[in-house]
Structure 1
Amino acid sequence: MTYLWLKALHIISVMVWIGGMFVAAVAVTTLSASKPLSDAPGRADILDAVRRWDRRATSPAMALAWLFGVAVAMQGGWFGSPWLMMKLVFVVALSGLHGMLSGLLRNLGRTDRPAPMSGYLPPAIIAAIVVIVLLVVLKPY
């Protein structure tokens, strides 16, 4: 029963984390392509709301996803499994991407310069999630 609760909490926290990352990525992409902060009505409000959500929900959800994920892996006895090690590579990459997104959100508030390669952020998140889900469900190795 403990395993099922841990797995449910892991999935819930991952959904909040990835959902928040996707919102941040779309916001960075959209706001980078729009007019300068001073010229676009509502742009500062949107940026503030996304930054606040990132701090209050997305970042804590990432920490909880890691915590519950490690607990699930320990319960399942999967440490050392090749599929889990491959999954962790992508999860570490997503964690780094989350940090980069947080930094881009802060920088957009200070400067009107567009975020470099911001258009690639949403597809990168989706691609990583697809690989992670396939690894977890199929456990190919």
Structure 2
Amino acid sequence: MMYAWLKSVHVAAALVFVGGVLLVSVFLSAAAAGSTAVAATATGMPLTASQRVRRWDRAVTTPAMLLVWVFGLLLAQQGQWYQAGWLQAKLVAVLVLSGVHGMQSGALRRLASGNPAMGHVSARFPRITVALAIGIAVLVVAKPF
């Protein structure tokens, strides 16, 4: 019974985390491409679009990432999967996704303060995020090794 609850919270947090990273990915990609809608709202308004996205990221996405790590490690411990190849590969992928989130948080902070985000790197964030999410899902469901 406890395993089912741990897994439920982990999966729910993972959905929110990946969704939040994808939201920020698309937003930063649009900002890097010079989207007029993003660029126009990025300066001069009481609460800009970049500030709103940053607020969401800090209030929702970051806590979801922390829950993913805590409950994922609890699940791995309970299932005694630390030696499993699929889990080790998943941990690397989640670590990379967490690193992408960290880079995005810095870019959002710079953008919200009126500085340029990350340019060409931001354009790759959506593809990287989707590829990592698919890879993680395949590893968890198929457990190929």
TM over 0.5: yes
Find the aligned partners of 1:33 and 1:81 in 2 and give their Cα distance.
41
Give 1:115-130 correspondences, 5 Å limit.
115-116=118-119, 117-130=121-134
Asked if structure 1 preserves the Cα contact closer than 8 Å seen for 2:42 and 2:111, the reply is no
1:69 pairs with one of 69, 72, 86: 72
Find the aligned partners of 1:50 and 1:5 in 2 and give their Cα distance.
30
Find the aligned partners of 1:80 and 1:6 in 2 and give their Cα distance.
20
Task: State whether structure 2 residue 55 is matched by structure 1 residue 48.
Answer: no
Letter matched to residue 144 of structure 2: P
5+ residue gaps, structure 1: none
Which residue number corresponds to residue 104 of structure 2? Answer: 101
- Name whichever of 107-116 and 16-25 sits farther off: 107-116
**In 2 relative to 1, CA 108–70 (structure 1 residues): closer, same or farther, beyond 3 Å?**
same
5+ residue gaps, structure 2: none
Shift, 1:110, TM fit = 3.1
Which residue number corresponds to residue 79 of structure 1? Answer: 82
Shift, 1:108, TM fit = 1.3
Q: TM-score, normalised by structure 1?
A: 0.91
CA RMSD, aligned part only? 1.8
Q: Classify the secondary structure of the residue corresponding to 1:108.
A: helix
Q: TM-score, normalised by structure 2?
A: 0.89
Q: How many pairs are equivalent? A: 139
